[in-house]
Structures are given as C-alpha cells and as structure tokens.
C-alpha cells in the first residue's frame, strides 16, 4: 500500500522568473531573529559610523530624519528560501551618511541593538545599494521587523539587512559577523545561492 497517493506533489509554490534559484514567493513578511526583540525608544536611538582612526560620526533620530529620505521599492530574499517582491520602504541612503566619512578600509561590521553583527563590504553599501530604513509599506518600521531602524541591503540575503541597527564599524578585513561565524556564507548573494560556507 502506497503511503502517498498517486498524483500527490506536495504544496505547490508559485514559479516566478524574478526569483533567485531555490527561492519561493511569499505574500507574508516572515519574522526571523537571532534573539529577543529589543525595546528601543527613538529618543535614545543613535546611529554611528566608526572609522579606523577612531573618529565617530553620530546621528540622533531627529538628525537622521533631517537628511534626505528616499522611497525604495525592492525585492527581498531570505536565506530560508522565501522572497517578497516589490516591497516598499523609506530610509536614508548610506551614501548620505558616508558623505563626510574619511576611511581607507573596504569592509564594515554592522552592529545592532541586542548584540547582533553582520559583515558587509563597503562597496555593497554605497552607490544607491543600501539604506537605513525607518518605514515599511507606508508605516513606521515595526520592532519585529527591525524598527525603529534597520539596515536595508536588498541585493544580498536578508540576514545582511541587520535589524535594530545602531552602528557601522570600519574593518580592514572581511571579518565574519554572527551568522557568518555560525556557518552562513561570508557574502550572501541570493543569485549565486551563497547560503552557507
């Protein structure tokens, strides 16, 4: 006697040509976190960029919002295989934040409230490729999705878009962050399926 009846193929997933290999389309916005959701008051929130010289560039919540805010429409891809197409965000381009930063280092370690870290090459944060996002789908960014602010690097797997972002530290080497130390790929290109080491 067959355990699976003839013709049973499991749950069908929509095939979409805009998806990287191995991904499936979702209409939801799944929540995955490496730890508990921190409670961050925007009155206490601060974003910093620390360079190799020890210089620290700081922005309060109000100072961040005084910078040009951009509308972003982009696809996002999670290493757990879901993709969400045409997501809408608002945020400050990393180009604006790095405009006055003097560094010769090529790598960045992103640090989050709560202790999470992830590494990103600097070139992947500049030239209109990354933002500090403060809104999603026309609303303030929910804490479960990284609010009040998260890094948004949509051309890489979504673990690189660190939730609850608090700062970037310049590095001379591509040192691994939290998930990279635990087996995830050092870079994370969804189109090359760079999921794990």
Indicate the pTM of the whole model: 0.90
H helices of the chain, where? Answer: 61-65, 94-98, 178-181
The answer to whether residue 34 is domain-embedded is no
The answer to whether residue 142 is domain-embedded is yes
The answer to whether residue 110 is domain-embedded is yes
The answer to whether residue 37 is domain-embedded is no
Q: Provide the number of structural domains found in the chain.
A: 1
The answer to whether residue 50 is domain-embedded is yes
Q: Encode the chain (197 residues) as per-residue pLDDT tens digits.
A: 333 333 333 334 455 667 999 999 998 887 877 778 899 999 999 999 999 999 999 999 999 999 999 999 999 999 999 999 999 999 999 999 999 999 999 999 999 999 999 999 999 999 999 999 999 999 999 999 999 999 999 999 999 999 999 999 999 999 999 999 999 999 999 999 999 98
What gap in Å lies between CA 188 and CA 54, rounded to an integer?
Answer: 29
The answer to whether residue 106 is domain-embedded is yes
What gap in Å lies between CA 158 and CA 189, rounded to an integer?
Answer: 10
H helices of 66-143, where? Answer: 94-98
**Contact indicator for 164, 152 with CB cutoff of 8 Å:** no
The answer to whether residue 151 is domain-embedded is yes
Kindly report the backbone phi and psi dihedral angles of residue 160, in degrees, each rounded to the nearest multiple of 5, phi listed first: -75, -15
Query: Residue 119: which CATH number?
Result: 3.90.420.10
**Contact indicator for 141, 150 with CB cutoff of 8 Å:** yes
Domain that holds residue 188: 24-28+45-192
What gap in Å lies between CA 71 and CA 92, rounded to an integer?
Answer: 9
Helix or strand run (H / E) with residue 86? strand 82-93
Record the tokens describing residue 158, joined without a space.
């979504």
The answer to whether residue 161 is domain-embedded is yes
Residue 38, SS3 per DSSP:
coil
**Contact indicator for 115, 164 with CB cutoff of 8 Å:** no
């Amino acid at each position: 006697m067959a355990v699976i009846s003839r013709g049973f193929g499991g749950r069908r997933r929509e095939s979409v040509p805009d998806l990287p290999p191995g991904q499936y389309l979702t209409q939801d916005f799944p929540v995955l976190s490496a730890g508990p959701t921190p409670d961050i008051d925007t009155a206490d929130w601060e974003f910093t960029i620390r360079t190799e010289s020890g210089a620290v560039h700081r922005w309060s919540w109000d100072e961040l919002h005084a910078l040009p805010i951009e509308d972003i429409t982009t696809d996002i891809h999670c290493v757990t295989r879901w993709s969400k197409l045409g997501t809408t965000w608002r945020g400050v381009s990393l180009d604006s934040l790095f405009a006055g930063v003097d560094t010769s280092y090529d790598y960045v370690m992103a640090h989050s409230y709560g202790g999470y870290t992830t590494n990103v090459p600097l070139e992947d944060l500049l030239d209109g490729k990354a933002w500090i996002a403060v809104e999603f789908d026309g609303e303030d960014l929910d804490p479960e999705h990284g609010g009040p602010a998260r890094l948004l690097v949509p051309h890489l797997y979504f673990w690189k878009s660190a939730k609850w972002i608090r700062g970037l530290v310049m590095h001379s080497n591509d040192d691994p962050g939290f998930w990279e130390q635990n087996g995830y790929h050092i870079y994370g290109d969804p189109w090359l399926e760079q999921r794990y080491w």
